[in-house]
Amino acid sequence: MAQATSSKSGEGRSAFHCAARVILASSIVCATGFAYAQTPAPNRKLPAKPPAVVERPADAIALQPTPAAENSEIVAKVGARNITVDEVRAFVATLGAREQAAIAHDPALLSQAVRAMLANQLVLKEALDKQWDQQPTIAAQLEQIRKNAIVESYLQAASNPPAGFPDDATIEKAYEANKEAFLAPRQYRIAQIFVALAKDADKSAEDRAKRKLNEIEAQLQQPGADYGAVAKSASEDSESAARAGEIGWVAEGQIKPEIKTVVLGLAVNAVGDPIRLDDGWHIIKLLDTKAAYTRPLMEVRDTLVQRLREQSAEANRRAYLAKVLEQNGPAINEIALSKAFEAAIPTGAK
- Return the closest-CA partner of residue 259 out of 246, 244, 277: 277
For residue 28, give every residue at least 6 positions away whose Cβ sits within 8 Å of its Cβ, in sequence order, or none. 6, 253, 254
Regarding whether 132 and 207 lie in a shared domain, the answer is: no
Regarding whether 280 and 199 lie in a shared domain, the answer is: yes
Q: What is the pLDDT of residues 110-133, one digit of tens each?
A: 888 888 888 888 899 899 999 999
The answer to whether residue 339 is domain-embedded is: no
The answer to whether residue 146 is domain-embedded is: yes
Regarding whether 173 and 277 lie in a shared domain, the answer is: no
Q: Domain containing 271: what range? A: 15-29+186-291
The answer to whether residue 10 is domain-embedded is: no
Give the pLDDT score at 77: 82
Picking from 178, 203, 218, the residue at the C-terminal end of a domain is: 178
The answer to whether residue 36 is domain-embedded is: no
Report which secondary-structure segment, H or E, holds 250. Answer: strand 246-251
The total number of structural domains in the chain stands at 2
Give the pLDDT score at 78: 76
Residue 21 and residue 7 in contact, taking contact as beta carbons nearer than 8 Å: yes
Regarding whether 192 and 168 lie in a shared domain, the answer is: no
Integer angstrom CA distances of residue 223 from 220, 226, 287: 8, 9, 19
The answer to whether residue 332 is domain-embedded is: no
Which CATH number do you get for residue 25?
3.10.50.40
Distance CA 97, CA 50 (A): 8
The answer to whether residue 44 is domain-embedded is: no
Picking from 141, 157, 178, the residue at the C-terminal end of a domain is: 178
Regarding whether 108 and 80 lie in a shared domain, the answer is: yes
Instruction: Name residue 38's amino acid.
Output: Q
Q: What is the pLDDT of residues 211-223, one digit of tens each?
A: 999 999 999 999 9
The answer to whether residue 303 is domain-embedded is: no
Tell me which residues of the chain have a pLDDT lower than 70: 1-71, 346-350
Picking from 160, 178, 196, the residue at the C-terminal end of a domain is: 178
pTM score above 0.85: no
Give the pLDDT score at 45: 36
Phi, psi of 195, rounded to the nearest 5 degrees: -120, 115
Regarding whether 252 and 165 lie in a shared domain, the answer is: no
